[in-house]
A and B are shown apart, each in its own frame.
Chain A
Amino acid sequence: MSQQGGPKHFRLPRPLALGCWLPGLALLFTPLSAVASPADLFGVGLRSQAMAQTGAAYGDHDHQSYTNPALLGGRTEQHLSLGYQSALFVTKYHSDSLPEVHDQALASATTLGVTLPLPMGDILTDRLAIGFSAYSPRELVTRAQLWYPDRPQFPLLASRAQSLSLATGLGAKILPGLSLGVGVRWLASLIGAVNVTGSESGETTTVVRDQLVTSVAPVAGLRAEPFDDVFVGLVWRDEHTSHIDIAIQVADLGALELPELNIAGMAQYDPEQVDAELAWLVGGWELVTATRYRRWSAFPGFLEQTFSCPASEPICGAKAPPPPNFSDTWAVKAGAARALQLSSSASAELRVGLGYEPSPVPEQVGTENRWDNARLMASAGYGVEVDWSGVPFSFEVALQQQWLRERMHVKGAAAAEARPELARVTTGGSVQLVAAALGVEF
């Protein structure tokens, strides 16, 4: 900020001022005690979250390796942002014979985003940049919460928000109005085996192995400016899965042996998806409209069958869980941002958004009680960029409110007889997100 005129303020010497800031960053890095990372539920990056999860066509932030790696192309400044977000999931259900049951879950995460332009020369000058985006639940890498199917649950909400999400991307500005980008998203899966073998002396030998393996999914994006101040963004993200798969094998333990148990299921699942977005800059406003297609019909199911029939006995008691029969969804979103010049060294942006997210989960007419609801979303945010004594930093906040549209599930006769209290159940609830981030150009 300008030092001419105006009141004099006490100011720390620059090195000390920076030294005071560093412990603040250290707090974000210090081990904390517990919880979440909801990239697909809330979007990534404060700007995107405040504008109804848009951001594939326009806008600078440090999580573009997830949102659209093409937007990294042409970035010329190194930028780093650290953030924290907290989401509260409130779900409820009731039936004619059951009073309303509430459940709450909190999912919090630290976020780290980095944009690093590659300072190359010649025709590659100011064209290439890499980005890194991390969504790190406190102490969690991923969560596998796969209940028995008849237990009342909302499996696509809180438990999905509890996984470490990493994305790396490379963007290239091909032409003045055309950028392309590629990236990779990372998750972890758990595989393992337990082998129990008996001996004639009655002793049991046990070996347990577990491996945490990486699961990657590619991302590709395009951003074009077909007309002045009109931007188009297209992003494809491949299906992203995290499995848990533990085989328990018991052998030579007498006449009664358990079949080989297969403790397996889908810990995390983001369906293959495509974002299409149009952004228009007009009169100091940015107006955005977007849609996201999710290929939920490819979802294989939450749990696998507990054991398989041996080759010698192809027909046995092993039962495969019924297919989930999820449906593909098209989400629609709209957002707006208004730039404000606060002073010669400070600018701000107000952001709002609205969106609608259909549910892929069919009505639960059988014994399963895996519920999900369509969500109506409203969001808002504010970002300020200040050049404070030569320190170009930014501070952003975002709020998101998602309302779960009430939905009724009416069971078939057999399932209703087994659980009469859940024969006609109505579900609903809400989700709130609060996020803040501090960024600096360096």
Chain B
Amino acid sequence: MLRPRPVQIGVGGLAMCLSVATRASATPVDSLGVGARSKAMAGATAADPRDYSVNYYNPSGLVKFDGLELGVGYTHAGFSLEANGEPSDIRAVDAWMFGVVAPGKIASIPFAFGMAGQLPQGYLSRAQTIRESDAYWVFYESRMQLLYTSFNLAVMPLSGWSLAVGTASLATTRGGFQVRGTTVAAEFGRSEYESELTHQVDANLVSTRYPQYSSSFDFGSGFKVAASYREQAKLDTDVSASLDTVIDGTVLEIPVRYDVVVRSVKTFIPRQLNLAGAWTPSRWTFEVDLTWYDWSGYRSPIGTTSSHFEADPPEGVTIELPEAPNTPPPPNPGFRDRIVPRFGVEYRLSLASHWGLPLRAGYVYEATPVPAQTGTTAFLDATRHVVSGGVGVVDSGLGPWLGRGLCLDLAVQWGILEKRTQTRMSGDTLSADGSFWATSADVSLEF
């Protein structure tokens, strides 16, 4: 006799597996930055960019380079974060970075093309599902696991004033799969491996592009200002699945059909406006950047699910179907906008006629945009302080091979999260704190 419970649980299990959402995230470069020089200066380099990270911080600076520049780098970040005193399993990040700066002229007007990217080692993106009650680090889990690419064009229509437009992109999955055939119940000495199942797939890896614009102005006497704007971007994951099967219980057969559609936000990039000013007296550069993040537009990563069960048992046989989970849209997570200040300093020490040793340091203060988690969600985050430092080695004496030289840059970042304790409506407490380290190394070929 076929027992209905296994059918219920087996199909219900499939329902559950699709009733969860992927973790929403921003990009890794938003969290850690791009390029060893910029990271060493806490990302405060938009007004005076000097390497391929210009593609992220201020593409209008592309036209200020003297020649073609190719950069490649590697970054590693390790996290030591705790939730309620327990260490969180946050995966370390290892990623390759690359960038191109190609300045030129059109009709004597400076014009440039640039591109940059960060590729997490071995993959383009990684995501893991969550449920509403799961405690997870909003900005430290999947946020670090995304490919970032950027393409930019810049022009300098007037001396000292440059403009740029560009695009960055992200990717996610939309689509679904269907399974059909006969599922054999493990009854009467039979095995589920006697099932005859086939599948089909109609899935798209979808990308979204979001524009970025920037402008800079050089006042002369070492004063420079820049403004850059990045549009909001979000990627919705949309996965559907169906199981159209006949449960073969040897003594009877029951056709069962189950359909489910899950929608959630996988990636969210807030709208950003950065204003930057730099002062470069001789060998020094001092820079302050202020970035507004429109976190109030953040959408909850908790997904919505709609599903449907159908079964057609023979007359006289009843089968209990699980309740179809049809979840309502998640509430607004209530994140708040933030202005993040960054401070960077660089001293370009000259060692010999063609050897240079730039020394760099920086600091950034990021107040958390995540409100107190008193309800059913448990988004973990805390206000953080990041101090950074770095050093470069510049050899500009490589003669005819590299006209402008070779540059090696190293950077270290140390982030500290202030301890945050929240009392939930259930009476429990939710605390979050920790720290992280990141190191980066770049090699730039300057032609």
Contacts and interface: CB of A to CB of B under 8 A. Distances in A.
B211 A30 contact: yes
A139 interface: yes
A434 interface: no
A143 B106 contact: no
B177 A263 contact: yes
Interface in A244-301: 244, 246, 248, 250, 253-259, 261, 263, 265, 267
A12 B403 CA distance: 36
A35 to B, nearest CB: 10
Contact of B202 (A145, A214, A250): A145
Contacts of B14: 196, 248, 250, 258
A253 B167 contact: no
Interface stretch (B151-159, B327-335, B337-345): B151-159
Interface stretch (A65-73, A202-210, A349-357, A378-386): A202-210
A364 to B, nearest CB: 17
Nearest to B105: A442
A121 B119 contact: no
A19 interface: yes
A31 to B, nearest CB: 5
A397 interface: no
Given A122-B400, A124-B401, A212-B147, A144 B201 contact: yes
B115 A306 contact: no
B111 A120 contact: no
B200 interface: yes
A206 B262 CA distance: 14
B350 interface: no
B323 to A, nearest CB: 13
A119 B10 CA distance: 64
Contacts of B208: 31, 139
A365 to B, nearest CB: 19
Most buried by A among B151, B207, B233: B207
Nearest to B158: A15
Nearest to B126: A211
A31 B201 contact: no
B426 interface: no
Contacts of B158: 15
Contacts of B181: 306
A223 to B, nearest CB: 23
Sort chain B's interface into a size bin: 35 or more
B102 A78 contact: yes
A105 interface: no
A116 B13 contact: no
Interface in B148-175: 151, 153, 155, 157-158, 163, 165-167, 171, 173, 175
A391 B106 contact: yes
A177 interface: no
A206 B195 CA distance: 23
A313 interface: yes
A186 to B, nearest CB: 10
Contacts of B196: 317, 319
Contacts of A118: 68, 447
B193 A318 contact: yes
B144 to A, nearest CB: 13
Interface in A109-138: 112, 114, 116, 118-122, 124-125, 130, 132, 136
Interface string A134-161: 0010011111111110010000000000
SS of B interface (majority): strand
Contacts of B67: 119
Interface in A179-237: 188, 190, 194-196, 198, 202, 204, 206-214
B203 interface: yes
Interface in A50-95: 78, 80
B436 interface: no
Contacts of B283: none
B197 A261 contact: yes
A144 B197 contact: no
B437 interface: no
A164 to B, nearest CB: 7
B104 A213 contact: no
B127 A29 contact: no
A210 B177 CA distance: 15
Contacts of B129: 206-209
A29 B127 CA distance: 27
A390 B108 contact: yes
Interface in B88-116: 100, 102, 104-109, 111-113, 115
B6 A144 contact: no
A256 B7 contact: yes
Contacts of A362: none
A267 B402 CA distance: 42
Contacts of A22: 153, 155, 163, 165
Contacts of B166: 29
A101 interface: no
A307 interface: yes
A213 B124 contact: yes
Contact of B13 (A26, A124, A196, A318): A196
Interface string A428-442: 000000000000111
The 7 closest A-B pairs by CB, nearest first: A121-B400, A256-B6, A442-B104, A390-B107, A15-B157, A141-B205, A212-B124
Interface of A: 14-16, 18-19, 22-23, 25-26, 29-32, 78, 80, 112, 114, 116, 118-122, 124-125, 130, 132, 136, 139-148, 151, 162, 164, 188, 190, 194-196, 198, 202, 204, 206-214, 244, 246, 248, 250, 253-259, 261, 263, 265, 267, 303, 306-307, 309-310, 313, 316-319, 389-392, 440-442
5 contacts: A32-B209, A122-B400, A141-B206, A248-B14, A317-B194
Given A15-B157, A188-B171, A206-B17, 15 more contacts: A18-B106, A31-B208, A78-B113, A124-B400, A144-B204, A190-B203, A208-B22, A212-B123, A212-B125, A213-B123, A253-B10, A255-B5, A257-B186, A259-B195, A441-B104
